[in-house]
Amino acid sequence: MTDSILINTKKTLGIDVLYTAFDVDIILHINSVFSTLNQLGLGPIEGFSITGNTEIWAAFTGGDMNLNAVKSYMYLRVRLLFDPPSTSYLITSLEEQARELEWRLNVVREFETYPIPPVEPIEEAV
């Protein structure tokens, strides 16, 4: 299994890896989602973008397993931008899933940014 951001996203969209007619459109949407993730405080501080199928997920996540949900989030957001469903029920479902992943990823980011301090023992009165 490849770790290429473009190839993984194409596969989840149901597009054959060898079919490149939509690559420019998909890359555009992937980079838009990376911009959103950057605004959420995820990924490299300077931002992140792809230009083809050589960029891998670890370059964005830094190998942090807590950010695996980024892959599902990428699919949901790119699907809504590139190939939105025809029914409002499915659109609403995808949007709700994406919002939940945003919340969960934000929790991961906040925990890493603001770790819970250790509890200090309470001194007993003498």
The residue ranges of every structural domain in the chain are: 5-113
Average pLDDT, the chain: 91
Helices then strands, each counted (H, E), the chain: 5, 0
- 1 pLDDT band, cuts 50/70/90, is low
The per-residue pLDDT for 9 is: 97
pLDDT digits (tens, 9 = 90+) for 81-122: 999 999 999 999 999 999 999 999 999 888 776 555 667 777
Dmax (CA) of the chain: 77
The per-residue pLDDT for 54 is: 96
The per-residue pLDDT for 123 is: 73
**Whole-number Å distance between alpha carbons of 3 and 91:** 27
The per-residue pLDDT for 93 is: 97
114 or 2, which is more confident? 2
The per-residue pLDDT for 115 is: 54
Bridge partners (DSSP) of residue 4 are: 56
Token duo for residue 87: 């029914």
First to last CA, the chain: 64
